[in-house]
Structure 1
Amino acid sequence: MRVLIAEHDYHVYTQLLHQAAPDLEVFSTGDSAELSRMASDCPVWLGQPDLMANLLRQGHKPQWLQSTWAGITPLLADSLSREYRLTRAVGIFGQVMAEFVLTYMLGHEREVLARLMSQVERKWDNRTGQSLSGRKVLIVGAGDIGQRVAEFLLPFGVHVYGVASSARTQAPFIEVTALSDMTRLLGEMDYVINLLPNTPEPHDLYDAKLFASFKPTALFINVGRGVAVVDADLVEALKEGHLAGAVIDVCRQEPLPQRHPFWTAYGLLLTGHSSAPTSPVAMTELFVENLKAFQAGEALRGEVDFSRGLLKPFRTSRRLGVGSSARRHRLQRTVSYSENHPQQPVLPVACAGLALRGLAGIPAASTCHRFCRWLRQRAVRNPLECSAPCGSGPDRSPPCRGCASRSGSLAAQDNPRPSRYRRCATRPGFLRLRLARRRWSWRQ
Structure 2
Amino acid sequence: MKWPDLAVLAGVVVVFVGLHLLRRRRTNFSVLTLIALAVGIPIGLLARDHVAYIEPIGRIYINVLLAVVAPLIAVAIISSIASLGSIDRLRTIGLRSIGWLLLSNAVAVVLALGVGLASATGSGVDETIGGQQLSVLQNSVQDFTQVVVDFFPSNVVGDFGANHIIPVILISVTVAIAYLTLAERDAASVRPFRDGIEALKLVVFKAVGFVIGLTPYAIVALTATVVANSTNLGDKFWSLIGLLGLAWATCFVHTFAFNSVLLRVFADVSPTRFFRKIFPAQATAFSTQSSVGTLPVTTDVLTRRVGVHPEIAHFTAPLGTTIGMPGCAGIWPMLIAVWGINAYGIDYSVKDYVVLAILGTLVSIGTAGVPGTATVAAATVFAAAGLPLDFIAVTLPISTIADMARTATNVTAAAVSATIVARQTGLLDDEVFDADEATHQPTHLSTSA
What is the TM-score with the length of structure 1 in the denominator? 0.19
Larger helix fraction of residues: 2
Higher radius of gyration, 1 or 2: 1
Larger strand fraction of residues: 1
What is the TM-score with the length of structure 2 in the denominator? 0.19
Of structures 1 and 2, the one with the larger relative CO (CA 8 A, separation 6+) is 2
